[in-house]
Amino acid sequence: MTLPIITGLYAAVLALVFGVLGFRVGPLRVKLGISMGDDGNKDLALEVRRHGNFAEHVPLALILLALIEINGAPGLALHIMGIGLVMSRVVHPMGLRWDKVQTAPRAIGAGGTALVTLVAAGWAIYQFAVA
């Protein structure tokens, strides 16, 4: 079995993004003296949500990319989806705000993540159907 090398590259890059988002939470907790939850602090809640949103959406996309890579998806397609996912997940947190629901970065990030996930899911279904 071939390991998903291309997906591994994007998983590593996304791990760095996840780390940055996580490292924004810890020091803020220390500064505010809030160990659990957000104690109603909007700045902390926002950072926790940015980190959590990433954790909720990226794993499934990466699993799907790995599955279609293992089953022979072309490298170019995987790179396009991987780059799209990274760009989406870098932009998305910039658009999460308390005072505004609809922001361009949020829409681009959420839409890009959904698109990559749905394309990879459809590709996986196709690979199953033709196997």
With CA atoms as reference, report the closest residue to 8 among 79, 92, 113. 79
Query: What's 15's domain CATH number?
Result: 1.20.120.550
How many domains, the chain? 1
Q: pLDDT tens digits for 42-92? A: 999 999 999 999 999 999 999 999 999 999 999 999 999 999 999 999 999
Report the distance separating Cα 130 and Cα 126, nearest Å: 6
Task: Domain of residue 54: give its range.
Answer: 5-126
Instruction: Tell me whether residue 62 is in a domain.
Output: yes
CB 110 within 8 A of CB 92: yes
- The pLDDT value recorded for residue 3 is 77
Q: pLDDT tens digits for 87-106? A: 999 999 999 998 888 999 99
CB 115 within 8 A of CB 55: no
Instruction: Tell me whether residue 131 is in a domain.
Output: no
Structure token pair of residue 47: 């950072």
Q: Is the pTM of this model over 0.85?
A: yes
- Kind and range of the H or E run holding 35: none
With CA atoms as reference, report the closest residue to 96 among 45, 62, 33. 45
